[in-house]
Amino acid sequence: MSFQFRRLADLSENIRYRFSIGGVKSRHPDARVRQLINVAWQQLRTIVSLANDGTFLDATPPAALPTTATISGEVYVEVPWPVNASRIYGVRCQNSTTERWCPLKRIPWAAHHDFQYDSLFTGYARQRVARAFCSRAIPKGVETVETAGAIMIVPVPAGGLYRLWYLENWQPQVKDDDLLSGHEEWFEYVIYSVMIKMLGPDADSKKNYAMWSIERKEARDLIESTANRLEDGVPTEPRDARSDGDDPAYWGAEL
């Protein structure tokens, strides 16, 4: 087994040792400790992803963009928010006239009507491409029926493809040999997060919260600073970036 992986049973035993559970297993049964590990790992995945580290992100296969407004006369189309996605971190589109993939700008829901054009020019110009997106509804579940959510894309495109980059829902790990893959500071963050939650039933009798919260913060700071440092890159060669993420056309013609 690669040293990057940690067995769930080993991680649980590490927490038991550091917390000195000893004779208080009735308040901290193994199943509860593992449930807290899963909660902490879910939080970790969000922290890493929000720090611009794509380690945990997945992407949907390219799919055709809708070309008809969801509601007649509106300025947007909708694409499904997958039921296995907890958060949408980005939308990339390839318009119908070029092979270039461009990121859409995330906008607040209230801003989607900013993408309306009523000038004479727009009647003659080449039809616009998708430029921005916002969330409208997260997936829903009723008993065993799961329904996809919805993401709004504006303005209504002439065609093309899209891909969603998302954080997949976490499947709880519960068996001894289930493996978690990560870096040392990730596991430290999880360990201290679990031990802090375990202080509740014990009413923090040993006054460990102050010390453990500092250790957890140091682990989180290292996670975020590492991600930001790795993202702090520069282009490998000079390039014209004036049209990055935008339509490189003026007056309806390609440059």
Q: How confident is the model over 29-68, as pLDDT tens digits? A: 889 999 999 999 999 999 999 988 889 999 999 999 999 9
pLDDT at residue 253, rounded to an integer: 47
Predicted TM-score (pTM) of this structure:
0.80
Contact (Cβ atoms closer than 8 angstroms) between residue 198 and residue 205: no
143: how many CB neighbours lie within 10 A of its CB? 5
Of 40-44, 48-52, 122-126, 238-242, the range with the highest mean pLDDT is 40-44
